[in-house]
Amino acid sequence: MNNAAASQTSEVSTKAALHSSQIVKIQDLNVFAGDHHILKNINLEIPRNKITVLLGPSGCGKTTLLKCMNKLTDLYRELKVSGSIFIEKDDILNTTTNIPSIRQKMGLLSQRPYPLPVSIYRNVSYGLKLKGVRDRKLINFSVEKHLREVGLWEEVKNRLNAPATSLSIGQQQRLCLARGLAVKPSIILADEPTSALDPISSKIIENLFKDIKKHYTIILVTHVLRQAIRLADHAIFMIDGEIIEQGDPEELFKNPQTEELRAYLVDGN
Amino acid sequence: MQLRRKIFDKITGFWMITSLITILSLPLIIGTGLYLKAAPLFDQQSFFSLIFSSQWAPSKGEFGFWPFIAGSLYVTVLSFLFTLPVCLLAAIYLTQFSSKQLIKVMHPVIDVLAGLPSVIYGVWGILIIVPFVSKYVAPVFNTTSSGYSVLSGGIVLAVMCIPYILNMLIEIFNTVPVGLREASLSLGATRWESVKHVVIRGNFPGIISAYGLGIAKAFGETIAVMMVVGNVVKVSINPLDAAYPLPALIANNYGEMLSIPMYDAALMFAAFLLLVIILIFNMIFRYLIHKTKRQ
Amino acid sequence: MRRIKILEEKFFVFLSAFMTYSLITVLAFIILVIFIKGFNALNLDMILKTPQGGYYYGGEGGVLNAIMGSLYIAVGATLIAIFIGMPAALYINVQLVRYRRTQNTIRYFLDALWGIPSIVYGAFGFTLMLFLGMNASLLAGIITVALLISPIMVRTFDEVLSTIPRGLHEASLALGSTRTETAFRVMLRQGFSGFITAILLSFGRGIGDAASVLFTAGYTDNIPINLDEPAATLPLAIFFQLGSPIPEVRERAFASAVILTIIILAISLSARIISKRYSRSNLK
């Protein structure tokens, strides 16, 4: 039975890979907090192995949209979510698949780094341990690989057992990225990941995103227009819980179709 | 005008610093006072035999505190065993799983209960716990008990300490940022795993401290325990037997302590012992809390 | 593997919910039992009369002596605690504002002091009383309880003062006032709600404490008029009456417990309301 399920999912994912360049598809997503309509009829598609930027003024629902994708909205009882979100053909809002395994398909990078209250090493191995991996060699290998992936290995290899909080805030954010990559996600959800960082650390993170997008789909929330222009392969502009415009960033930023985006571009620059 | 300001400044400045120094030196003053009163006892018996001897015959001048220390320890440990799972799980539920409304209602309620005088808990113990122990618990073990027992003392103490410990735990758990929980969940942890790794492990020193302070409070609690514990001088491991904790010893015998030689010194020694033990406990665990707070 | 995890989660969520709700039940039960038992014996005589002849054998009277004694002691002790607690808290937050380490160390000691059990204060009060050649009296009780509640007063007031932004304090200094003037004119006013809360909390603690007044205040059937007369207290009235073999007297202990509980509830409720009304900071 297990085998059957495994082959089925692999079949589905190869199909998805063959037939569509989209990895996430959201249909008629609505989110309410009490009477407050936070997200209104969201419909969008997110291309695979690209950086998709969610842009908009603060409070427009970008973060909520991001949290819907890995069901962190469950933490907030007052939120009512309806509609469907397909990730690799699997509608995560209406599914029986257990939530932790859905979440493991996505790595989360939040506004400021939240290292777990354990050592650097254990931060990275946390996800593997949860999956039940006990093989020390495998874990060691994974820790080194992912710390290298984010360019942190050389800086921390001699103090892997130091508490993660002893790192600088920029290093912590990279550690959080490595930690997320270690669970082998296909998507990285980044919620203004550079807003708490200094310019140099921000630059490092941005460059990392450009490097790793070969292997991962990145969904980046930002309100920094310049960052959006630098990174976006696909852009979505939101105001007040609604998608105003979406499409190719070059087009979008050069020829805004709506008054809202035009105003935002002028103010942002 | 300038002079008046200067005088005002001098007087109030002096007032402030003297007050602060007075309060801060309280433990030293209390400790010295009690020690001086207890000192004559040390001429007769060694410190070691005072604590570990079980011979208690004030009229013969024999003061062995072991039955009282053992009684205190027993009741305290028992109450700790009751509070340990209840407080931890309730604090986790209230801060991590329950709706926000519940904790909004519960927090003030717990606060009020923590401020209820201990004599009230004692009354409740006599009304409910003592008859419960004698009527229902003792028959289960095929013995009889008056109900005034170590077990009753432990239960009443536990119920008294729960609001106190719970309050501290809730405060500690509330400092865990939501982002940290989200990070753990997004790595594929279940909610319970997140609680285990982020909430419990991350706050381990704080949790230990909350319980440590709870134990210290239980150890020094007087009236409520004294009302239900039976107050019989003996060492027994049967929780359905009566015991005689240290604070109860002091409280019960102050009336006659001036009529028997050395008795007053013995009771002041008991108070001194309580002060030292509890102060040490408080210092250790408050230190842990202060240290974690600064991080 | 996954099954076990889900089961584990379900089990612990259920267990913690169960613990929480049974805890709520038990705590509600305590209040309920006290009220039900006590209201049966509660009447106006209990509150308005002192014990008459034969009271302790079930005769006429009430516990007015204990109510008044408790109020006298708590009020007196609170006044003393204000006298030394308020300036101490101001000192920590004004003069020591530049020395974070010292501030923290002092707070640490005060917290540790808070944990000393009241029986120890009682025993110390007793030695002090003998040392000064006093008898068990209202005054001795007041002094002992004042020692007990001063650390509480300082720490609760200090908690509120420490949230006052430094800018306000600096603004006052910049206008040319001295540090002490800043303390009494600005900080005290700004933290006034905290001051009131601290007073109420200390008062509540003072009125409910039994072990500290056991040695020092004595017990009497009369309402004390002078400071050197002994005074009855409500917690001790409950304690002594419960020890009686006569059912009527025990009933009265329950009634007295209700009176004490109501007083305490009223105090902590008003403390809550005041601190809520005046707190402008929107901390969760």
User: Residue C207 — very low, low, confident or very high, per pLDDT cuts 50/70/90?
Assistant: very high
**In this complex, which chains have at least 3 CB pairs below 8 Å with chain C?**
A, B
Chain A positions in Cβ-Cβ contact with residue B198 (cut-off 8 Å): 116-117
- Cβ contact, residue pair A183, B187, below 8 Å: yes
C64 and C11 share one domain: no
C1 touches chain A (CB under 8 A): yes
Task: Give the least confident one: A47-51, A54-58, A244-248, C172-176.
Answer: C172-176
How many angstroms separate the CA of residue C209 from the nearest CA in chain A?
41
- Cβ contact, residue pair A98, C1, below 8 Å: no
Residue B81's nearest CA partner among B196, B158, B188, B177 is B158
C19 and C67 share one domain: no
- Cβ contact, residue pair A75, B182, below 8 Å: yes
Taking 80 as the threshold, does the pLDDT of residue A15 lie above it?
Answer: no
How many angstroms separate the CA of residue B37 from the nearest CA in chain C?
8
Taking 60 as the threshold, does the pLDDT of residue C281 lie above it?
Answer: no
Chain B positions in Cβ-Cβ contact with residue C88 (cut-off 8 Å): 16, 19-20, 22-23
C151 and C267 share one domain: yes
What is the domain count for chain C? Answer: 2
| Residue C58, number of CB atoms within 10 A of its CB | 13
A98 touches chain C (CB under 8 A): yes
User: Residue C278 — very low, low, confident or very high, per pLDDT cuts 50/70/90?
Assistant: low
Residue C167's nearest CA partner among C148, C154, C186 is C186
- Look at residue A64 and give its three-state secondary structure: helix
Nearest by CB to B186, from A72, A78, A131: name it: A72
| Residue A58, number of CB atoms within 10 A of its CB | 8
A223 touches chain B (CB under 8 A): no
User: Which CATH number is C183's domain given?
Assistant: 1.10.3720.10
Nearest by CB to B184, from A78, A116, A189: name it: A116
Nearest by CB to B283, from C84, C87, C112: name it: C112
User: Residue A269 — very low, low, confident or very high, per pLDDT cuts 50/70/90?
Assistant: low
Mean of per-residue pLDDT scores for chain C: 86
Chain B positions in Cβ-Cβ contact with residue C5 (cut-off 8 Å): 190, 193
Q: Quick one: CA dihedral B273, B274, B275, B278, positive or negative?
A: positive
Mean pLDDT by 10 residues, chain B (295 residues): 80 90 92 91 83 84 89 94 94 89 85 89 92 90 86 94 92 89 88 90 90 93 90 85 91 81 88 93 89 68
C-alpha separations of C263 from A215, B222, C35, C200, C270 in Å: 68, 21, 13, 11, 11
Owner of token pair 């004042």: C146
Q: What is the dihedral of CA A13, A15, A20, A22, to 10 degrees?
A: -10
How many angstroms separate the CA of residue C278 from the nearest CA in chain A?
29
Q: Is residue C47 part of a domain?
A: no
Taking 60 as the threshold, does the pLDDT of residue A8 lie above it?
Answer: no
- List pLDDT tens digits, range C77-87: 999 999 999 99
C71 and C9 share one domain: no
Chain-centre distance for alpha carbon B144: 29
Say if CB C149 and CB C206 are below 8 A apart. yes
C92 and C116 share one domain: yes
Chain A positions in Cβ-Cβ contact with residue B195 (cut-off 8 Å): none
Q: What DSSP string runs through B65-91?
A: -HHHHHHHHHHHHHHHHHHHHHHHHHH
- Cβ contact, residue pair B185, A107, below 8 Å: no
C26 and C69 share one domain: no
Owner of token pair 């920094």: A224
Nearest by CB to C181, from B9, B16, B121: name it: B9
Which chain B residue is nearest to residue C256, measuring alpha carbons? B120
How many angstroms separate the CA of residue B64 from the nearest CA in chain C?
19
Which residue type is seen at B91? A
Which residues make beta-bridge pairs with A84?
Answer: A27
- Cβ contact, residue pair B190, A183, below 8 Å: no
Chain A positions in Cβ-Cβ contact with residue B190 (cut-off 8 Å): 99-100
Greatest Cα-to-Cα distance within chain B, rounded to the nearest angstrom: 84
- Cβ contact, residue pair B198, A126, below 8 Å: no
Which residues make beta-bridge pairs with A37?
Answer: A32
User: Residue C199 — very low, low, confident or very high, per pLDDT cuts 50/70/90?
Assistant: very high
Q: What is the pLDDT of residue C279?
A: 57
How many angstroms separate the CA of residue A180 from the nearest CA in chain B?
6
- The DSSP secondary-structure symbol of A135 reads -
- Cβ contact, residue pair A180, B184, below 8 Å: no
C93 and C185 share one domain: yes
C194 and C65 share one domain: yes
Nearest by CB to A103, from B100, B180, B186: name it: B186
Rounded Cα distance, B33 and B37, in Å? 6
- Look at residue A107 and give its three-state secondary structure: strand
User: Residue A9 — very low, low, confident or very high, per pLDDT cuts 50/70/90?
Assistant: very low
Helix (H) / strand (E) element for B248: namely: helix B246-253
Q: Is residue C283 part of a domain?
A: no
Say if CB B263 and CB B195 are below 8 A apart. no
- Cβ contact, residue pair A132, C1, below 8 Å: yes
Rounded Cα distance, C190 and C167, in Å? 13
Superfamily classification of domain B43-294: MetI-like (1.10.3720.10)
Say if CB C92 and CB B1 are below 8 A apart. no
Q: Quick one: CA dihedral C7, C10, C13, C18, positive or negative?
A: negative
Say if CB A175 and CB A123 are below 8 A apart. yes
User: Residue A221 — very low, low, confident or very high, per pLDDT cuts 50/70/90?
Assistant: very high
C246 and C123 share one domain: yes
C213 and C99 share one domain: yes
Chain B positions in Cβ-Cβ contact with residue C19 (cut-off 8 Å): 85-86, 89-90, 93
Interface test with A, best of B187, B190, B200 (most A CBs within 10 A): B187
Q: How many CA atoms lie within 13 A of B130 on its CB side?
A: 18
User: Residue A124 — very low, low, confident or very high, per pLDDT cuts 50/70/90?
Assistant: very high
- Cβ contact, residue pair C238, B119, below 8 Å: yes
Rounded Cα distance, B275 and B288, in Å? 20
User: Residue A14 — very low, low, confident or very high, per pLDDT cuts 50/70/90?
Assistant: very low
Per-residue pLDDT, averaged over C16-20, amounts to 92
- Cβ contact, residue pair C111, B92, below 8 Å: no
Say if CB B75 and CB B66 are below 8 A apart. no
Owner of token pair 């600064």: B294
Chain B positions in Cβ-Cβ contact with residue C34 (cut-off 8 Å): 120, 123-124, 127
Q: Is residue C142 part of a domain?
A: yes
* Domain around C266: 55-278
Measured N-to-C along each axis, helices C192-208 and C247-278 cross at an angle, to the nearest 10 degrees, of 170
Buried-exposed string B237-272: b where 16+ CB fall within 10 A, e elsewhere: eebbbbbbbbbbbbbebbeebeeeebbbbbbbbbbb
**In this complex, which chains have at least 3 CB pairs below 8 Å with chain B?**
A, C
Taking 70 as the threshold, does the pLDDT of residue A5 lie above it?
Answer: no
Residue B241's nearest CA partner among B249, B251, B230, B253 is B230
Q: What is the pLDDT of residue B73?
A: 93
C197 and C148 share one domain: yes
Residue C108's nearest CA partner among C153, C146, C145, C155 is C155
Chain A positions in Cβ-Cβ contact with residue B96 (cut-off 8 Å): none
How many angstroms separate the CA of residue C10 from the nearest CA in chain A?
13
- Cβ contact, residue pair C87, B282, below 8 Å: no
Taking 60 as the threshold, does the pLDDT of residue A244 lie above it?
Answer: yes
Give residues with Cβ within 8 angstroms of C130, minimum separation 6: none
